[in-house]
Structure 1
């Protein structure tokens, strides 16, 4: 106890500091997500990197070792993500190119459904359908292969 008060009962100033910190943290996370989404829009409109270009860079600059716990998934438009779980990597390999696109853009690039819809030139409903089908496929893979 401190000054006759239990430590579990924070003072008004402590609560206010926690609320300020919480608000600040949420703002930073939201802004970071927006910055990433904005940067990826700019990259998508200004630059297209083909797999041939990536292969050339890897050969000329030296290859980076990929450990068994790291797997790279690419979609058909050059977006990629690193997956560290073996079963999720295997499940992602089974998705269609369109399904991979939506999953990668939302979960690794932090894009909203509206942003994905605009980027891929498809309706929001199509984004939801692709996401739903992806989740079903991943869940089915997990249920079939869990040990």
Structure 2
């Protein structure tokens, strides 16, 4: 067998250097990609997509409607709906006007034809009644 010439040795050295460089770069890119994937990987990617891309369907049977005079107020919690229904009408109206429509005490007083102090007292009694309702409801089995 003939010994390789200088030209052949150079070609072999170039191919050897090229393959080593390709292997080294491939290994570096693989390590980089793995580190990047671990940094951005979520354990629950489906939850992420559902949270960001989905929407919750709402049907009329999913919520409850209360009326304060001619204004409607949608309540999504059944417990809160029952608590509000257990209140006398004036107390319920004060809460609905205050929290659903953001009326001031003066506006509520004019609308209900009472004083602002009466509005304050009705709201306080309503809060106490709802607190009692929730305490009784949470102690039931």
Q: Does 1:116 align with 2:102?
A: no
Q: For residues 142 and 79 of structure 1, what CA distance do their matches in structure 2 show? A: 26
Partner residue in 2 for 1:72: 65
More helix by share: 2
Task: Work out whether residues 80 and 104 of structure 1, in 8 Å CA contact, stay in contact via their aligned partners in 2.
Answer: no
How many aligned positions are there? 82
By relative contact order (CA 8 Å, sep 6+), the higher-ranking structure is 1
Partner residue in 2 for 1:102: 94
Q: For residues 93 and 123 of structure 1, what CA distance do their matches in structure 2 show? A: 24
Q: For residues 78 and 131 of structure 2, what CA distance do their matches in structure 1 show? A: 14
Q: For residues 121 and 72 of structure 2, what CA distance do their matches in structure 1 show? A: 21
When the two chains are superposed, the root-mean-square deviation of aligned CA atoms in Å is 1.7
What is the CA-CA distance between 1:93 and the residue it aligns to? 0.7
Bigger radius of gyration, 1 or 2? 2
Partner residue in 2 for 1:140: 132
TM-score by length of 1: 0.52
TM-score by length of 2: 0.54
Runs of 4+ with >3 A deviation = none
Q: For residues 78 and 117 of structure 1, what CA distance do their matches in structure 2 show? A: 16
